[in-house]
Amino acid sequence: MIHAEFKAVVVSNEINLNKIAQHFGINRNFKWEESLALNDQFLKGIVQQTRNKVVYIFPFGSMVFINFQHHEQMDVLNYLKRVQPDINIVDDFKYTDDYNLEIKPGAEQTITNDLMITDQNAEYLMEIIATVLAKSVALEKIELDIGYLLDEIEYIVAKLQQGELAFSDEKLAKISGSILGFKLNTISYLMLLDKPDITWVNDDASNIFINFTNLFELDDRYRTILDKTATLMDITEVFSGLANANRGNKLEWAIIILIAIEIIISLVEKFFGH
């Protein structure tokens, strides 16, 4: 029997796979939807025991460790931070997910929320599970961040209901930039919803990928984030329109006051001379 323990974490907003690959002597260009797998060949000298260990690194900031103890994960992260300094190293990661895989000869395939049992000893199983887990924790980060942004929007809506436009152009620009950032990230993550290459030629791999995608509700979560992002953009456009209209009214009144002052000065000079 083969047992594999998966641990997915978010360590950055973005990881340069090409830079890390070059450090390990891997001379190829990675596309955005691809991942970099570091097996025992590349882990020697980083952790003491490398047998049956693999770490998958994804360009959108997630990493998935297979059969690593916590201290070994930290050893890998500390090493990679020398190559890419913006990798975040903490003892307790905020966005994580775990999964287990058991390969038993003759076993009937079952997939649950935290365990897959199968008799297929196929390398693509590791990649599929790692990809889905990595995407799931990345979406979890976006879900939480967009929740914070919704709370901020609710405060502005409450001020608006009180008849106040108590927000500056800078604040609106910052909120709009955050929303666009969420939208850009989710569009980028959508690339990973495409089937891995192996699934185009292997029906079993395709079915497993679909099952895991449904299990972690990736499609539904993605659509929910897009809907929330669209709603936030609509609200921001309303705020911007109201703020511009408010500034336009103030400018018009300023012009009227200046004209009135000029008229008064002209009248004073006409009737009272010097």
Per-residue pLDDT tens over the stretch 177-225: 777 766 666 665 555 456 677 778 888 888 899 999 999 998 888 888 8
Of 56-60, 69-73, 197-201, give the lowest mean pLDDT range: 197-201
- The closest alpha carbon to 75, from 6, 63, 94, 96, belongs to 63
Q: Is the pLDDT of residue 274 over 60?
A: no
- Tokens for 13? 């907003």
Name the one residue in this structure whose structure tokens are 């699934």: 199
Q: What's the confidence (pLDDT) of residue 246?
A: 59
Q: What's the confidence (pLDDT) of residue 245?
A: 60
CA–CA gap between residue 248 and residue 261 (Å, rounded): 20
Q: What's the confidence (pLDDT) of residue 122?
A: 75
Q: Is the pLDDT of residue 239 over 70?
A: no
pTM of the prediction? Answer: 0.79
Q: What's the confidence (pLDDT) of residue 134?
A: 92
- Tokens for 165? 């436009």
The β-bridge relationship of strands 62-66 and 96-103 is unpaired
Task: Please give the full DSSP string across 100-168, using - where no structure is assigned.
Answer: EEEE-TTPPPEE-SSEEEES---HHHHHHHHHHHHHHHHHHHHHHHHHHHHHHHHHHHHHHHTT-----
Rounded mean pLDDT of the chain? 83
- Whether 62 and 129 have beta carbons less than 8 Å apart is answered as no
Q: What's the confidence (pLDDT) of residue 268?
A: 75
- The closest alpha carbon to 196, from 132, 111, 263, 269, belongs to 132
- Give the phi and the psi of residue 44 in degrees, each rounded to 5: -65, 130
- The closest alpha carbon to 136, from 218, 40, 248, belongs to 218
Q: What's the confidence (pLDDT) of residue 182?
A: 66
Q: What's the confidence (pLDDT) of residue 191?
A: 55
Burial class (CB in 10 A: 0-12, 13-18, 19+), 243: middle
Higher pLDDT, 233 or 81: 81
pLDDT band at 114 (very low <50, low <70, confident <90, very high): very high
CA–CA gap between residue 21 and residue 56 (Å, rounded): 12
Q: Left if phi > 0, otherwise alpha if psi is -120 to 50, otherwise beta: which for 215?
A: alpha
* Residue pLDDT, tens place only, 140-191: 988 888 888 788 777 777 766 776 655 666 666 677 677 776 666 666 555 5
